[in-house]
Amino acid sequence: MELVADLVERVSARSDRAAVLAASAGDYAGIWKVVCVVTIALLAAIFGVINARTILQRVGLMSGLVPFAGVDQHTALANRRRFDEECPLALERARRTEREVSVAMINLDNFDAISDSNGHWAGDRLLAATAASISSRLREGDLIAQYGPEKFAIILHGCSADAAREIIDRVRELVPDGLTFSAGVTVSDGHEDVAMTLARANQALDAAKHAGCNRAVIMRRDATVELHRDTDMPFVVVRRG
């Protein structure tokens, strides 16, 4: 019975965290997965369907519920898997409603150097603070995901190039002191596949980084808009193509 009690305590602790993170990202399917796994594990232990000690050895695997629930463990944002699931839905919605959707890729400039000089623990805290700052400037219904170690991906529903520019500028003002970011944004009407959309967003991000970082590039089929941050007030340059 002590073994079962220990199992209950450990499963509960892990499942609580997984469920909270899933809820924070609005991932109710993820919450359901947590409930199912916990229920099966506890019933199996109590009724002796499987050896309880074996379950205890595998409870450590429950930490994997967090990413599978669609939530990043470090920032509590949606993870890359969740973003990859939502992106085609966003394009379909744009096509159906005839309202543009913007997809942004944001990469923190020199984050590795900052993390190395201040310690990875401080780097993790800075990453979490940045994620919270960006999230606070998004609209209800938009999605931000942790797409890489220092990279965020954002879906902005019903968002034109001008609206995306304003959002990126607001986000820039809230980034913690000493940190800058480069952003690549693409605007789509939904009449193209996910691969093409993401390729253009990443191409825009690469252009921003190669131009010196601390700026954003918004790319669409008919125009490229560069947002520079050389002074306290950004300015816009439009090149028709």
For residue range 108-155, list pLDDT tens digits in order.
998 888 888 888 888 888 898 899 988 988 999 999 999 998 999 999
Tokens of 221: 């089929």
pLDDT over threshold 80, residue 215: yes
Domain extent, residue 31, equals: 2-68
Q: Quick check: is 149 in a domain? A: yes
Cα distance between the two ends of the chain: 72
Instruction: From 22, 38, 68, give the residue that closes a domain.
Output: 68
Q: Are residues 60 and 85 in the same domain?
A: no
Q: How many domains does the chain have?
A: 2
The single-letter code of the amino acid at 151 is: K
Instruction: From 40, 68, 96, give the residue that closes a domain.
Output: 68
pLDDT for 211 equals 86
Among residues 138, 199, 206, 202, the alpha carbon closest in space to that of 168 is found at 138
Average pLDDT over the chain, rounded to whole?
75
pLDDT for 110 equals 87
pLDDT in tens, 8-52: 454 444 445 555 444 554 555 555 555 555 554 555 545 554 444
Q: Are residues 15 and 96 in the same domain?
A: no
The helix (run of H) or strand (run of E) holding residue 238 is: strand 235-240
Instruction: From 45, 68, 91, give the residue that closes a domain.
Output: 68
Q: Are residues 31 and 104 in the same domain?
A: no
User: Phi and psi for 192 in degrees, rounded to 5?
Assistant: -160, 165
